[in-house]
């Protein structure tokens, strides 16, 4: 095993400008994912990830599990024991929504600083804004059923964002990316469902036996294959029922199965590069936010202490909500401050090149990215073996030629000439 050492001669390449352009390039087309095969690009992503972005990602996963656990416990207490909602999950989730909203503002300011504010407006950031603003409504709409159901679904979906584990993420990404490939088949199935539902409604109105909920009955028959009782159906409606059920259960179902299988195989093959693309987006977001959030407030050991202090304070605040005799004023605001302290602490590292520094500080010297990569020696092919054999034959011939020339030189040289034989005169 050999080692290959490279150095990128472009100074200060670990920056938000480069990663923003890289992410904007690969998100436009999957055919551009080959750029992540470059050694320097992968080295840069690994450096940003392991030196900072992973801390934010793990904190987000921990907060998601924490919030979901509070939702489950509170739902269990209400349904099983008949207790009233205490608001622990609402305060925690609402506080996290406020902190996440501040995160999004910092990301947008980071884009403005590099002059690429248009890159912020995409579907991914729109979804992030949606899942920030919706949970924040729990502060004022605690009893709204739609808001609570959407928040529960959002927090369960957050469990799929296990980006810090490459093995798990590479297994989940092909499944989560199947929706894009299913869009054409879904459109065809939706058109067929609407057309057949319209036809059944027309037949039901003509026969004056239209069901109370035609959409639900049509869905139950076409999607699940549940054929209703047909004692009062005429021949046309009977023929339509059999034909539509056969069409959906045989034709559309097989289309979906084949499309899902083919698309999953394609996404599985692309999963290493897709994972690098997802990680590049996370690293780009981290660098953009780190360029706005102050990273010079304290050292890393001090930040760890503040993080632990914030966690303990938030646990005590949640315990105070459970105990009726303790009444802490402004509990939601204090939980927001605790989570804000936790999020700010993970950005503290003054020695990192991307950290936001004090104004008036001397500019940092240029830095260069070095990469060290283990390279396996390739096995010799048939052509290489032929070349080696030819080289050995040539060396052997050259050696024999040298020996022959040396012998001839010794025979015919003046010092080694042969004397004629015979008796002496």
- Per-residue pLDDT tens for 316-338? 998 888 887 777 888 889 999 99
- The reported pTM is 0.79
Q: How confident is the model at residue 423 (pLDDT cuts 50, 70, 90)?
A: very low
- Residue 51, φ and ψ in degrees, nearest 5: -95, -5
Q: How confident is the model at residue 361 (pLDDT cuts 50, 70, 90)?
A: low
Instruction: Please give the Cα distance from 413 to 289 (Å, whole number).
Output: 87
Mind listing the pLDDT tens digit for each residue in 233-280? 677 777 888 888 888 888 888 888 888 888 888 888 988 999 999 999
Q: What is the pLDDT of residue 130?
A: 94
Give the burial class of 20: count Cβ atoms within 10 A of its Cβ; 0-12 exposed, 13-18 middle, 19 or more buried. Answer: buried
Q: What is the largest CA-CA distance in the chain?
A: 150
- Most confident segment among 18-22, 228-232, 349-353: 18-22
**Tokens standing for 44?**
């840069």
Mind listing the pLDDT tens digit for each residue in 389-417? 888 888 888 777 655 555 544 444 444 44
**Tokens standing for 7?**
């150095």
DSSP per-residue codes, 224-286: T--PPP-TT--HHHHHHHHHHHHIIIIIIHHHHHHHHHHHHHHHHHHHHHHHHHHHHHHHHHH
Domain ranges of the chain: 2-178+271-375, 182-260
Mind listing the pLDDT tens digit for each residue in 283-314? 999 999 999 999 888 899 999 999 999 999 99
């Amino acid at each position: 095993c050999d080692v290959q050492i490279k150095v990128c001669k472009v100074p200060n390449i670990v920056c938000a400008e480069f990663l923003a352009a890289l992410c904007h390039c690969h998100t436009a087309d999957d055919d551009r994912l080959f750029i992540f095969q470059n050694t320097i690009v992968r080295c840069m992503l690994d450096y940003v990830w392991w030196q900072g972005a992973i801390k934010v990602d793990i904190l987000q996963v921990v907060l998601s599990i924490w919030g979901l656990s509070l939702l489950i416990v509170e739902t269990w207490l209400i349904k099983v024991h008949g207790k009233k909602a205490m608001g622990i999950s609402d305060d925690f989730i609402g506080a996290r929504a406020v902190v996440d909203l501040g995160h999004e503002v910092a990301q947008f300011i980071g884009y403005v600083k590099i002059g690429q504010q248009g890159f912020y407006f995409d579907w991914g950031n729109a979804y992030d804004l949606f899942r920030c603003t919706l949970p924040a409504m729990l502060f004022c709409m605690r009893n709204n059923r739609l808001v609570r159901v959407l928040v529960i679904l959002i927090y369960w979906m957050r469990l799929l964002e296990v980006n810090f584990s490459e093995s798990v993420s590479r297994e989940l990404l092909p499944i989560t990316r199947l929706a894009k490939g299913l869009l054409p088949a879904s459109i065809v199935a939706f058109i067929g469902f609407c057309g057949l539902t319209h036809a059944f409604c027309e037949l039901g109105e003509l026969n004056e036996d239209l069901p109370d909920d035609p959409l639900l009955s049509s869905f139950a028959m076409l999607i699940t294959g549940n054929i209703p009782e047909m004692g009062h159906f005429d021949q046309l409606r009977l023929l339509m029922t059999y034909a539509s059920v056969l069409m959906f259960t045989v034709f559309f179902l097989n289309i979906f199965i084949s499309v899902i299988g083919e698309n999953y195989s394609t996404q599985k093959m692309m999963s290493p590069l897709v994972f690098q693309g997802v990680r590049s987006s996370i690293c780009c977001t981290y660098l953009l936010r780190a360029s706005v959030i102050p990273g010079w407030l304290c050292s890393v050991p001090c930040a760890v202490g503040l993080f632990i202090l914030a966690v303990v304070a938030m646990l005590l605040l949640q315990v105070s909500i459970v105990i009726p005799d303790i009444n802490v004023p402004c509990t939601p605001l204090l939980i927001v401050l605790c989570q804000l302290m936790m999020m700010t602490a993970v950005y503290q590292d003054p020695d990192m090149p991307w950290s936001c520094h004090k104004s008036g500080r001397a500019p940092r010297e240029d830095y260069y990215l070095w990469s060290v990569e283990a390279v396996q020696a390739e096995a010799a092919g048939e052509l290489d073996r032929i070349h080696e054999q030819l080289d050995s034959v040539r060396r052997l011939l050259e050696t024999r030629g040298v020996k022959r020339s040396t012998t001839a030189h010794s025979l015919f040289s003046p010092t080694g000439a042969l004397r004629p034989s015979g008796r002496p005169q």
